[in-house]
Homo-oligomer: A and B are copies of this chain.
């Protein structure tokens, strides 16, 4: 605690294109053109410039470049998470990983801000865009009638929305067909013989929650299953446990439960075991989003898997297209795939 760190000071003037120009004996503009692959520079000169730039360890000053009307080479992502939900979901780390991969290949960087609510998230986008800090944005946690959508539209900020087109307005959506995944799962459970299936869902306000809710109800109707009332949670283990307990202690106890994320599913598994129910003999469980977590518990959880990394990558790629002015349609990613594991089986004969 005593040692004072003394970071050496010499801010060591960085070389600029003017330095390179002087050394090579040409004008700044030629250097700029050469370094940017613009025409109007002979190959010989170009090579000389490249060599000197390399030797000097030249790095473009992005501020100056941005000031001259060029791109900022960055995109923004404001993540709205109340503190306690942070870190509970592997989903976002993976999504960010996928986004980052594409961006860094294009030498773009990601400006990330974790905020407490959508209001402040919008502020972040507004500030970044106003400051010309970003060229585009990615919007997550899309809600119904999301106020951020019209706001971003009005700002003219190129934006990709991770969420269903029904809620993305004129912004570009990247989404997956959650309804199909729900249907597939329900058909699977029905085929196993289940007649009473419960659902423990995520936050009500989110678009994808609503879509899954609807698909669930529709599938129950189509397959002639008893539709238990869906229970909504905040994705935390505590609420997942509470909701599961409620469902399992109700008179019409379900023989299978579909969860909206892995954390609540794992919590539900513990609750079932506490109550003396064995999984999958007495109760089947299905988790949304596969993860190491879903695989290490006993029994391993049947899950709706999707390649989240690729999902993020698609979103980033779409955004880069949008920024570059290339014609962009929304992108529908692959629907989550049902991966049966040890947590699902036929219901107990009664």
Chain A residues packing against B (C-beta within 8 Å): 1-12, 14, 57, 59-64, 66-67, 72, 74, 81, 83, 86-94, 96-97, 100-101, 104, 107, 109-115, 124, 126-128, 130-133, 153, 156, 158-159, 165, 170-173, 236-238, 240-241, 263, 266-267, 270, 273-274, 291-293, 295-298, 308-309, 322, 327-332
Distance between A4 CB and nearest chain B CB, rounded to angstroms: 5
**A87 and B83 contacting across the interface, CB-CB below 8 Å:** no
Contacts A9-B156, A113-B110 given; indicate if A87 touches B328 (C-beta within 8 A).
Answer: no
Distance between A219 CB and nearest chain B CB, rounded to angstroms: 24
**B63 and A67 contacting across the interface, CB-CB below 8 Å:** yes
CA distance A132 to B111 in the complex (A): 15
A110 nearest in chain B by CB position: B112
Cβ of A172: which chain B residues have Cβ within 8 Å of it?
5, 7
CA distance A320 to B172 in the complex (A): 37
**A86 and B92 contacting across the interface, CB-CB below 8 Å:** no
Cβ of A329: which chain B residues have Cβ within 8 Å of it?
1-5
Contacts A133-B62, A236-B292 given; indicate if A87 touches B86 (C-beta within 8 A).
Answer: no
Cβ of A158: which chain B residues have Cβ within 8 Å of it?
7
**B66 and A296 contacting across the interface, CB-CB below 8 Å:** no
User: 4 nearest interchain CB pairs?
Assistant: A59-B130, A87-B90, A63-B66, A87-B93
**A130 and B14 contacting across the interface, CB-CB below 8 Å:** yes
Given A63-B131, A88-B291, 19 further pairs, Cβ under 8 A:
A7-B153, A7-B156, A7-B158, A7-B159, A8-B153, A59-B131, A61-B132, A63-B72, A63-B133, A67-B67, A81-B97, A86-B93, A87-B92, A89-B93, A96-B114, A101-B114, A240-B296, A263-B296, A266-B293
**A132 and B293 contacting across the interface, CB-CB below 8 Å:** no
A274 nearest in chain B by CB position: B298
11 contacts between A and B (CB under 8 A): A6-B170, A59-B127, A61-B131, A63-B66, A63-B131, A238-B292, A241-B296, A263-B296, A266-B293, A293-B293, A297-B297
A127 nearest in chain B by CB position: B59
CA distance A322 to B5 in the complex (A): 9
A64 nearest in chain B by CB position: B67
**A109 and B86 contacting across the interface, CB-CB below 8 Å:** no
Which of B9, B113, B322 makes the CB contact (< 8 A) with A104? Answer: B113
Number of this chain's copies in the assembly equals: 2
Which of B2, B112, B296 makes the CB contact (< 8 A) with A237? Answer: B296
Cβ of A297: which chain B residues have Cβ within 8 Å of it?
266, 270, 297
Cβ of A88: which chain B residues have Cβ within 8 Å of it?
90, 291-292
Cβ of A74: which chain B residues have Cβ within 8 Å of it?
111
A84 nearest in chain B by CB position: B292
Cβ of A101: which chain B residues have Cβ within 8 Å of it?
114
CA distance A10 to B157 in the complex (A): 10
A268 nearest in chain B by CB position: B296
Cβ of A8: which chain B residues have Cβ within 8 Å of it?
153, 156, 170
CA distance A158 to B6 in the complex (A): 10
A86 nearest in chain B by CB position: B97
A59 nearest in chain B by CB position: B130
CA distance A269 to B333 in the complex (A): 36
A262 nearest in chain B by CB position: B293
